[in-house]
């Protein structure tokens, strides 16, 4: 197919795995107390914690998903980067220091610090588990996606490797090993991504993406066709599906030459038609898939992504040569880039997915509208878009696996400083994602059926060494994030539910043991979910995890901190309503209807992003219930001080 296994990549991957396991066993000997296990002893340096924040936060969705989305949809993909980063301002200005002051091991600790309420303990622990599981699934699926090109092994092997390694990391030294795995991974991700971007800028942009003369790019052809007696005639080709067929009615034709079938996009010309070569995937009734008419292994399906025309000072050029970061964007803006449209055609019991060329001005790619429907959009489309951007903004400061990192530093000032380091590191990385995505878009490396591998494949265009490092790092990215999620989930089970909610009053040693057992059970569940959700888009569930976290957790956190009249009943009800309304709206959304095998237009609700409804619903619930329970509930006394 598009990539083959490299011994170097396998070697580096094994090195990474052995390194993190060695680190975990080393730290395990020093991690005996509950504070050590759940909060790394609370004495991690703020700079280390800041980079670990970045390592935790820059998940497979950021590295693989966003780069892939930018590579195929331009600026719209980058809007995820902007939304994810903006969310850190909520964390810095409103949440960081109070979270450090109020909590001990888990996000529930901070919420429950003023009330000692069983209802809050239960709801916050359930919310932590739901959000973490939503976040875990795409990470595990991402591991499966990565292991196929990296090690040549099936999806389930990748999921199992990540599941087992991460469970060992968390079960040995908990937050201590997780912190250092995330620190190393975060630092390496920044360094290696910078190297790829520098290599990209040095190569510049060109109309022939031959990857530095290492790999020839497929020359997409254009044919001329005439219509004689109502039927299409193409020199040297037989017409298999012509103008009257399902293909023809959709604007395509299928031709055959020497027994090989090809699909072409029809464009009207002065005399007859111009036919532009397309890619196609045929799915038979028995589920067999053919790529450009042949099995995947025959390699007839090409990598795509090229510039049609580069204009500098009004003149067309083939290469820009080395460019600076601003010049890269300016040259891109003035170019015409070939993007790829997608169309489904059903003929009999076979379905053909056609990917066809769509030459697009660079300036159009560097503005919104290729993925999100914002041009000539209905009110509902605009609502959907605003709701997604609201979820990204509000979600970060409500993710339990991010919030627990505030307990690993010694002071409120350290919590604040580590957030600023995180903002600098994550902001810098998100700027790099723009270059990585646009670089992949123009370097002939995109696997159009699965854009998740765009960033590693861009690295491959600079040689197998960089590809090996980036791919192994992408795998380490999954390890770092999944470790954080399992620590958060284990804390919710052992500390919030067993120790606090059920009142088991465990000893320090028993708390650590319960955390380790919980980590192993959650690791097993994560492996199972990663296998059954194979094929799901990596960034698909992450957006929803943000929406659920923003709806269930953020109103509760902020109202406890800033509204004196918040009561325990109001907080618990707010988490419940935020959780159920966001989950409920997701389950009846058009995207889910497609997954149920139904038509999206038949879904009970017409939007996919629930945040703009579920966040206000959660806030409203908290206010109403708190006002109704003023005499019964304990009020927050120090809210205004927070």
Residues 69-98 within binding reach of another protein (CB under 8 A): 75, 78-79, 81-82, 85-86, 88-90, 92-94, 97-98
Whose CA is closest to 304, among 539, 461, 184, 410? 461
Max Cα distance, the chain (Å): 89
- Three-state secondary structure call for residue 292: coil
Closest CB 482 distance from another protein, rounded Å: 23
CA atoms within 13 A on the CB side of 95: 31
- In b/e form, how buried is each residue of 118-155, taking b as 16+ CB within 10 angstroms? ebbbbbbbbbbbbbbbbbbbbbbbbbbbbbbbbbeeeb
SS percent in the chain: helix, strand, coil, step 5? 60, 15, 25
Chain centroid to CA 370: how far?
Answer: 18
Query: Does 374 contact another protein by CB under 8 A?
Result: yes
Query: Does 500 contact another protein by CB under 8 A?
Result: yes
Closest CB 359 distance from another protein, rounded Å: 17
Q: Residue 438 or residue 482: which is nearer to another protein going by CB?
A: 438
- Three-state secondary structure call for residue 349: coil
Closest CB 551 distance from another protein, rounded Å: 18
**In the range 313-372, which residues lie near another protein by CB under 8 A?**
326, 329-330, 333, 363-364, 366-369, 372
CA atoms within 13 A on the CB side of 250: 22
Residue of the chain from 116, 214, 378, 630 that contacts another protein (CB under 8 A): 116
Residue range at the interface with another protein (CB under 8 A); choices 57-65, 202-210, 380-388, 468-476? 380-388
- H/E element, 542: helix 540-552
- Report the distance separating Cα 271 and Cα 453, nearest Å: 41
Site size toward another protein, by CB under 8 A = 73
- Report the distance separating Cα 572 and Cα 578, nearest Å: 10
Closest CB 520 distance from another protein, rounded Å: 22
Q: Residue 390 or residue 493: which is nearer to another protein going by CB?
A: 390
Q: Residue 89 or residue 133: which is nearer to another protein going by CB?
A: 89
Closest CB 590 distance from another protein, rounded Å: 19
Q: Residue 556 or residue 577: which is nearer to another protein going by CB?
A: 556
Residue with tokens 């990209």: 200
Q: Residue 103 or residue 144: which is nearer to another protein going by CB?
A: 103
Q: Residue 79 or residue 625: which is nearer to another protein going by CB?
A: 79
Closest CB 388 distance from another protein, rounded Å: 9
Residue range at the interface with another protein (CB under 8 A); choices 99-107, 339-347, 441-449, 527-535? 99-107
Residue with tokens 């022939």: 208
Query: Does 502 contact another protein by CB under 8 A?
Result: no
Residue of the chain from 226, 260, 318, 413 that contacts another protein (CB under 8 A): 413
**In the range 418-477, which residues lie near another protein by CB under 8 A?**
419-420, 423-424, 427, 430-431, 434
**In the range 31-60, which residues lie near another protein by CB under 8 A?**
35, 38-39, 41-43
**In the range 180-199, which residues lie near another protein by CB under 8 A?**
none
**In the range 558-577, which residues lie near another protein by CB under 8 A?**
562
Strand partners, 340: 357
Closest CB 111 distance from another protein, rounded Å: 10
- In b/e form, how buried is each residue of 226-245, taking b as 16+ CB within 10 angstroms? eeeeeebebeebebebbbeb
Closest CB 488 distance from another protein, rounded Å: 15
Q: Residue 42 or residue 142: which is nearer to another protein going by CB?
A: 42
- Inter-CA distances, 357 with 245, 261, 306, 317, Å: 21, 18, 10, 21
How many CB atoms sit inside 10 A of residue 507's CB?
A: 9
Neighbour-count burial of 532, counting CB atoms closer than 10 A to its CB (0-12 exposed, 13-18 middle, 19+ buried): exposed
> Which x/- pattern, by CB under 8 A, does the window 233-272 give for another protein?
----------------------------------------
* The pair of three-digit structure tokens given for residue 4, joined into one six-digit string: 């083959």
Closest CB 624 distance from another protein, rounded Å: 24
- Residues 6 or more apart whose CB falls under 8 angstroms from that of 467 comprise 3, 6, 9, 456, 457, 459, 460
Q: Residue 39 or residue 583: which is nearer to another protein going by CB?
A: 39
- Report the distance separating Cα 568 and Cα 224, nearest Å: 73
Strand 315-317 relative to strand 336-347: parallel, antiparallel, unpaired?
Answer: unpaired
Q: Residue 171 or residue 390: which is nearer to another protein going by CB?
A: 390
> Which x/- pattern, by CB under 8 A, does the window 574-603 give for another protein?
------------------------------
Q: Residue 152 or residue 427: which is nearer to another protein going by CB?
A: 427
- Report the distance separating Cα 207 and Cα 308, nearest Å: 6
Q: Residue 100 or residue 155: which is nearer to another protein going by CB?
A: 100
Closest CB 225 distance from another protein, rounded Å: 35
């Amino acid at each position: 197919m598009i990539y083959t296994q490299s011994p170097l990549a396998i070697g580096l991957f094994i090195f990474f795995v052995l390194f993190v396991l060695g680190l975990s066993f080393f730290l395990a000997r020093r991690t005996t107390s509950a504070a050590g296990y759940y909060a790394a002893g609370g004495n991690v340096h703020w700079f280390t914690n800041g980079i670990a924040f970045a390592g935790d936060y820059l998940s497979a969705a950021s590295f693989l998903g966003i780069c892939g989305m930018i590579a195929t949809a331009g600026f719209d993909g980058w809007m995820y980067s902007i939304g994810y980063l903006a969310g850190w301002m909520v964390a810095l200005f409103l949440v960081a220091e109070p979270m450090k002051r109020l909590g001990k091991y888990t996000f529930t600790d901070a919420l429950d610090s003023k009330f000692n309420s069983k209802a809050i303990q239960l709801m916050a622990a359930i919310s932590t588990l739901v959000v973490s599981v939503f976040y875990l699934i795409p990470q595990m699926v991402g591991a499966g996606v990565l292991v196929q090109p990296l090690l040549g092994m099936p999806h389930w092997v990748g999921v199992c490797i990540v599941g087992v390694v991460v469970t060992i990391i968390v079960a040995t030294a908990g937050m201590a090993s997780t912190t250092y795995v995330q620190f190393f991974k975060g630092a390496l991700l920044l360094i290696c991504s910078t190297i790829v971007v520098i290599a990209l800028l040095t190569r510049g942009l060109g109309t022939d993406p031959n990857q530095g003369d290492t790999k020839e790019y497929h020359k997409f052809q254009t044919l001329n066709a005439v219509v004689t007696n109502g039927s299409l005639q193409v020199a040297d080709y037989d017409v298999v599906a012509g103008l009257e067929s399902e293909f023809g009615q959709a604007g395509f034709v299928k031709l055959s030459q020497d027994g090989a079938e090809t699909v072409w996009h029809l464009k009207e010309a002065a005399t007859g038609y111009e036919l532009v070569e397309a890619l196609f995937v045929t799915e038979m009734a028995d589920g067999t898939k053919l790529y450009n008419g042949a099995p995947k292994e025959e390699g007839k399906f090409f990598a795509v992504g090229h510039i049609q025309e580069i204009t500098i000072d009004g003149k067309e050029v083939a290469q820009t040569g080395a460019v600076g970061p601003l010049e890269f964007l300016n040259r891109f803006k003035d170019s015409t880039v070939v993007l790829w449209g997608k169309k489904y055609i059903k003929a009999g019991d076979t379905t053909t997915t056609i990917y066809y060329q769509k030459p697009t001005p660079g300036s159009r790619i560097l503005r919104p509208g290729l993925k999100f429907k914002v041009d000539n959009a209905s009110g509902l489309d605009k609502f959907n878009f605003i709701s997604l951007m609201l979820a990204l903004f509000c979600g970060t400061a409500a993710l339990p696996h991010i919030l627990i990192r505030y307990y690993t530093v010694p002071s409120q000032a350290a919590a604040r400083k580590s957030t600023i380091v995180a903002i600098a590191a994550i902001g810098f990385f998100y700027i790099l994602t723009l270059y990585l995505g646009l670089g992949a878009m123009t370097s002939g490396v995109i696997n159009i059926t699965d854009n998740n591998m765009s960033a590693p494949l861009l690295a491959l265009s600079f040689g197998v060494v960089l590809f090996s490092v980036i791919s192994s790092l992408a795998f380490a990215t999954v390890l770092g994030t999944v470790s954080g999620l399992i620590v958060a989930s284990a804390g919710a089970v052992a500390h919030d539910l067993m120790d606090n909610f059920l009142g088991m009053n465990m000893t320090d040693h028993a708390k650590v043991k319960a955390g380790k057992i919980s980590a192993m059970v959650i690791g097993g569940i994560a492996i199972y979910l990663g296998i059954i959700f194979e094929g799901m888009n990596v960034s698909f569930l992450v957006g929803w995890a943000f929406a659920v976290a923003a709806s269930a957790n953020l109103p509760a956190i902020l109202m406890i901190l800033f509204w004196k009249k918040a009561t325990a009943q109001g907080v618990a009800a707010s988490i419940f309503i935020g959780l159920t309304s966001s989950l409920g709206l997701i389950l009846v959304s058009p995207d889910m209807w497609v997954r149920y095998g139904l038509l999206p237009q038949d879904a009970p609700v017409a939007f996919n992003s629930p945040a703009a409804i579920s966040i206000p619903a959660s806030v409203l619930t908290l206010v109403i219930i708190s006002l109704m329970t003023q005499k019964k509930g304990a009020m927050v006394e120090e809210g205004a001080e927070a």
